[in-house]
Structures are given as structure tokens and as C-alpha cells.
Structure 1
Amino acid sequence: MKYVIIGAGVAGVTAAETVRKIDSDGEIVLIGKEQFLPYKRYLLTEFFCGTISKEQLFSLSCEDLKRLKITFRKGQLAKSVDFENKKVKLFHNETVSYDKLLIATGGKPRIGPALRSFEKNLQLYYSLEDILLIKEKLDSVRTCVVFGQGLSTLDLMAGLKNLKKEVIYITKKPRAFFPLLQSNSDVDVHQFLSEKGVKIITNDRPVSVEKRDDKFIVETFNGEKLTADLVFAWDDYRPNIRFLENTKIDRKIGILVNEQLRTSVEDVYAAGDCAEIYHPKIKNYWINFGYPNAIEQGETAGKNMTGLNENYRIRETLVFHVLGKPFEARWWE
């Protein structure tokens, strides 16, 4: 049996390890688009703040890959999938055949139309490559403008405040809001960030980011002009599945899967931030972001790829820590 896993994040790595525990002889191919060994994306802020080393980020060493008999295709981007013939085409047109396929390509920040022409002036906060680039600039950075949604944005602001940087957060909403619940948490989070020194601009959004000497000038829809050393901006966080366009696999925002993480295509599974899982409680599909969800989904997908028939145990809430304060994160209410 040949198992191919596209995506070397926590869901893909967990699936590979799970498959190996059950099937000691099957061939496992793990395809990762980045030029690094598999790493734990959820620890990037700890590395950013200097509380862990770069080596502590990695989830599998070369020795681990050899011991687990996993073939790791580093720096290989999946270009398309031929589901009829069970082949994955890589960016340089090499094809990799499979018997069972897991798509675990995660999500990525999306820059909307209003800021797309200023993309070269924007800094993302998503990959190890992003963090290494930011760390090179940190000594000369004093003020950062942040515009974005989701817990990764909150994580970024926590990291910047831990590094004693001035943070200006722009939100389109009347208050800083994240998918958190803790006694009217939209109020709690907004007040908490303000108390920690984050300047919050509400009911607004950046419309231009121009470089002037060694600074960036951010102009907002409501006419504010801000000066920053770094500008972090993206509109939202979307599943990274563009390579599946014009294929027969069922998808909406992400890849649609049932509770066993099976897709509409036989022998193909999806897990992590690229998967929209059917939730019986709400009778709809939903993306369960967050690394604890990705770990559990990777384990479930790995088991089912080997022939088991296990349902993913849906987590309704997760605890998320921001600057030492725990918040409860909920995904669909």
C-alpha cells in the first residue's frame, strides 16, 4: 500500500506517524512545499519571541523520517491531482502515484482586492520563512500596524507586545472581535488588548500602504494616516486548495469531508485547515481551525487510510492563551 500525504504540517505529520503505527510495511510519501523539515506552525510565535530555538520547532528530524520509513519530498509544491489515475503532479511536472491520498495543505492568509496592489509592502505572519524574515528586521522595528482576522492575528499581536513593540490594530468591526467566547468575550478581548497597550482603530480598514524612505505610510478608508516600521495585513484565512480547481472533488471554501474525513473521491481524505467537516450538531460543514483539531484530524485520517472506520471527535471549544490570559475559542457559534 502506498500512502501519499500532501502537506507537512501538523495534520499531515500526525497522519504519517499514525499510518506507520498501524502499517509497518506500507510506503509513505510526505510532500511539503517549504524548504524546511516538517515543523510545528503553532509554535512560530514562541520562536518569534525567542522562547524556543529553531531546532525545537521541528516535528520530525532526518533521523525520525528514516526510522519511520517516511520519504519526505521537501520543497515540492503539488500542482494538481489526477483522481482518475491516482496521481499527484508536482510543480516540476513529476508525478507521484498513490493508493491512498491525504490532502492536508492547511490554509493561508488572503490579501483582498483593496490591498493587492500594495502586496510588496505587506508582511505576512504565516510560515517559518516569514518569521525568519521578520526577525532579521526586529532591531529596527518600533511600530507595527496590524490588520487581519482570526486567532493567528491575535497571536501575532501578543508576540509583538511581548517584544515591546508598539501595535496599532485596525478592524472593520465596531470592536476588536475574534471567535472567542468568555462572558461576552468580544468586549473582554477588546478591553484586554487596550489594557495591554494595543491601540485599536475600529470601523475602518487600510486602503493604501506606501513606502517612504525606511517607513510605511498606511492610509485608511476613513482618512487616518499612520506611520509604521512594519505592516502586517491580510483580509482573511482561506484553505490552500487552489491546485484542486477543475477537479471533481467536492468543495466549498474547503474540501468537504464526512466525519471519517473521507472526501467525495474514493481513497482520498482531507484533514486540517483545508477540510470542511460535516458537523451533525449544526447539520452543516465547518472548518475547525487550530492545531489541536489538526492533530486529532490527522490521527483519524491516518487510521482510516489504513482501513479503519473511525469518526473524528469534534471539539466544540479550545483554550487559547493571549499574553498570559486564557480565552475559550469556539468555532461556529
Structure 2
Amino acid sequence: MPKDDHYVIIGNGPAGNCAADTLRKEDPEAKITIISDEKPLYYYKHRVPLYAMGGCEPDDLAVRPYRGYGEKQIRLRLGQRVEKVVPPEKLLYLKHMEKVHYTKLILAVGASARRLPNHAAFAEHLQCLAGFDDAKRVREKLLASSRIVILGGDLISMGFAREARKAGKEVVFILYSSLFWPVSLKDEIQQSVTKRLTSLGVEVVSGAEPVGDVQPVEGGYTVTLPDNSELSADLVFSFFGSVPNIRFLVGSGINTEKGVLVDDLMRTNQEDVYACGDCAQIYNPEFKDYWISVGWGNAEAQGEITAMNLLGREKVIDYQPKEIFEMDGVTIRTSWWKSFS
């Protein structure tokens, strides 16, 4: 009899793609579909700052060409947003209420830029660079700019500052050590980060308090610091990490907190629904608590393990910390994060 399993993966990042590849390898007959609200092919996020600065083109970001999915018989649906998940019926609703049935589902939806509540009054004047769409939207303005102010600090911001300097931009980095994401910077690491940024020609301003205001002026913006001094900028960027894309799960019955809650086998509380990558909060039996993991390597590992568990292999996630951040000689060794605060 023909096999009628349909494995659906929501998310086209490293976790989702690694899960799809593993499923195809282990189950050659099943139907596999990746659904993503982003339009670009699976791409290297660490190259996004390079693209934003005009250093490469969209095709240079792609991890694999479109034909690679056809060769593996994995259906790829890009630019398709999942609006609703109904686990009892094993059903997804896309825009315009198109229905997609699944036998087993993997949530690998990743995360979007995190914004600070106390920046709400001037959030419209801040740019983000969480992914390709952000970079595409701001690319022309960046190419025409000469002075950039960066607020915060996360994995992407360090590479962005480096690429901006390579492109000849003036860069002022207002480093929030206590809000650096995904972990606050201790004195030794902060000094190392500051030293490296300074060596790249970046002006570093360290402070524990957020900036007071960002307002448009003719040709750019004025950034007001906590001591009421002001900086000028052509563009102001906000880098405070990310938050899981889980709003569409409201009402689904799938348990969420900061992310999608899963056990150490990557299973949610709903039958045949799994989660992995930046959107997953994983239960650690040793600590008896849920943790969130970030980083490309961790996402790939989780995608593979999630696929194996979906197929009944029961592989427990490895809790050993992995080195996930290294920026031009500055290394932060850390892996599992308890919160986004």
C-alpha cells in the first residue's frame, strides 16, 4: 500500500531544513513540506550584514538552490504564512484559509527582532536587521549613509559593526552590557568586546541605562543619551536579540511561554507536534526547568534530533554547552538561555 504520511515543517531556517533532510534520509517515501512566511531560500543569517552593506547579492546568501529541494522531493512553500494550527484535526490554515493536512508537524519558526518596551516612544525611528527582509528594506539607505549608531548588542550586531566599518561607515556602538543578548556581558568579556570593536575603528559608548530618545532631524536622527548629551546619525539600529514567532499558536492548545514548551524529546503537549530551534523552550530534567537555545549549530542539532524523535527513535537532546559566538577573536562560550529579559 502507498505510504500517506505527510510531515509538515513550519520554518525554513537551519532547524527546519536539517529536520527535513533527516526525515527524507530516514523515510524515503513520506511526503515532506516546508512552509515559510519568508520568500527567500534558506539563507546564511550571518551574511545578512554583508548583504545589507552591498557586499554580496541575494544568491550569495542561499545555503542551497531551489533545485536541491526537488532532488530530495521536499516541497517548498515560500512566502506562505501559517495563520492557525488545529492539532486535534491535524490541520493548518494558511492565508485566505487554505487548509493543509499533516500527520506530524514540526514547529521551527525561529524568531524576530526583540524591541525594548522603553524604546516604544521612538521605535519607528529604529532599524532592525534580524533577517533578509530587514536588510532588503534598509539596504539603499545604508549604502547612502555615512554615520551609523548601534543600540544594544547581540550576535548579529557585532558582525554588522564590522561590515559597516569595512564599508567605510562611521560607527558608534552604544553597548548595553546588562542587556547584551542572549547573555549579559561580564566585565572581562565586555572589555574584550570593547577592545575588539575599538580596534575596528568603532566608537564604543558603554552604559547601563537605555538611551533617552531618538528623533528625526533633517537628513538623519539625533540620539539623546542618559546624560542628555546627543549624537547624530544617518541611521539608528536596534540590536537586542530576538523573540520566538509564536503568536499564531494562540488558541491552538499548544503550550507556550517565552517559546514553544517541549520535553527533552522535543515533543509539545499536543500529539504529533514537535518544536525545535530558536522557538523551542526545552525541558531539562537535570535542572527541572525549561531553557531556550540559540545559534546555528544548536538549531541544526535540534532539527536532526527532532526528526529522529518524530520517527520514534527517542533521542534525548544533548545539554552540553556549545560555543555559539565568536567574533574576530572575541569568544563567548554559552548555550542555553533561561529568559529573554
Deviations 1:230-250 (A, max 9, x none): 111154421111111233222
For residues 280-299 of structure 1, what are the structure 2 equivalents within 5 Å? 280-299=285-304
For residues 223-238 of structure 1, what are the structure 2 equivalents within 5 Å? 223-238=228-243
Deviations 1:169-203 (A, max 9, x none): 22444797873889932332233333433321412
CA distance in 2, matches of 1:69, 1:194: 49
Deviations 1:234-272 (A, max 9, x none): 544211111112332222211111222111111111011
Given candidates 21, 40, 56, the residue that maps to 1:17 is: 21
Q: Which runs of 5+ in 2 are unaligned?
A: none
Deviations 1:121-176 (A, max 9, x none): 22111111222333322332221111134322333223323333222222444797
Confirm or deny: 8 A CA contact 2:297 2:324 kept in the other structure: no
CA distance in 2, matches of 1:176, 1:12: 27
CA distance in 1, matches of 2:206, 2:149: 10
Compared CA separation, residues 332 and 18, structure 1 to 2 (3 A): closer
Confirm or deny: 8 A CA contact 1:175 1:186 kept in the other structure: no
What's the % identity of the aligned pairs? 30
User: Is 2:78 aligned against 1:97?
Assistant: no
Confirm or deny: 8 A CA contact 2:52 2:142 kept in the other structure: no
TM-score for both structures, normalised by structure 1: 0.90
Confirm or deny: 8 A CA contact 1:122 1:231 kept in the other structure: yes
Confirm or deny: 8 A CA contact 1:32 1:77 kept in the other structure: yes
Match of 2:88, SS? Answer: coil
Compared CA separation, residues 315 and 230, structure 1 to 2 (3 A): farther
Match of 1:21, SS? Answer: helix
Match of 2:96, SS? Answer: coil
CA distance in 2, matches of 1:178, 1:99: 34
User: Is 2:132 aligned against 1:128?
Assistant: yes
For residues 153-232 of structure 1, what are the structure 2 equivalents within 5 Å? 153-173=157-177, 179=183, 184-196=188-200, 197-232=202-237
Compared CA separation, residues 253 and 149, structure 1 to 2 (3 A): farther
Partner of 1:328: 332
CA distance in 1, matches of 2:153, 2:73: 39
Match of 2:297, SS? Answer: helix
**Pairs aligned (count):** 332
CA distance in 1, matches of 2:308, 2:184: 31
Confirm or deny: 8 A CA contact 1:182 1:328 kept in the other structure: no
Coordinate RMSD, CA, aligned: 2.5
Compared CA separation, residues 221 and 256, structure 1 to 2 (3 A): same
Q: Which runs of 5+ in 1 are unaligned?
A: none
Compared CA separation, residues 311 and 183, structure 1 to 2 (3 A): farther
Deviations 1:188-236 (A, max 9, x none): 2233333433321412323432222221112234323211011111544
User: Is 2:314 aligned against 1:309?
Assistant: yes
Partner of 2:256: 251
User: Is 2:75 aligned against 1:34?
Assistant: no
CA distance in 2, matches of 1:212, 1:181: 33
